[in-house]
Amino acid sequence: MTENTVTIEPRISAAQLAPDGYRAVLALEKYVASNVEPVVFELVKLRASMLNGCSFCVDMHSKDALAAGEDSRRLFAVAAWREAPFFTRRERAALALTDAMTRLGEHGVPDDVYAGAAAVWEEKDLADLILAIGTINLWNRLAITSHTPPPLEV
């Protein structure tokens, strides 16, 4: 840690103070992890975390994806995925749905975004993908609200 490093002080621990609720979120995470394609799962978690500004999750999911063999160029390109040629149609549809669900506005998920995902994902897989996107958004909100910083040591 350098003298210019900013220290983020944690606020609260949901895991300690609401263990049953925290375990329920973990159970949902376990479900979606076993039902969504691993590569897509990591891309979706990274993208939502970037959009939400969750440094803890960006750090964790980029390390997890690299450890699982994901290419660093693809991970960096998640920030500008629409202009990047590195993603398949299914991945692009998942990233578009992630953007729409994460930036959920007053009109919800646009029909064209949903139709694009439905065109390349079977219904059950799409339902699991929607649950995965919802889950990472919940994790982001928990980490951001509680000021959970990423570890400074690699």
Please name the fold of domain 15-145. Answer: AhpD-like (1.20.1290)
Query: Where are the chain's structural domains?
Result: 15-145
For the entire predicted model, the pTM comes to 0.91
Is the sign of the CA dihedral 50, 55, 59, 60 positive or negative? negative
- Cα dihedral 16→63→85→81 (10° resolution): 30
DSSP letter assigned to residue 148: -
* pLDDT digits 0-9 by tens, 28-40: 999 999 999 999 9
* pLDDT digits 0-9 by tens, 98-138: 999 999 989 999 999 999 999 999 999 999 999 999 999 99
Spatial CA neighbour of 130 closest among 28, 15, 60, 59: 28
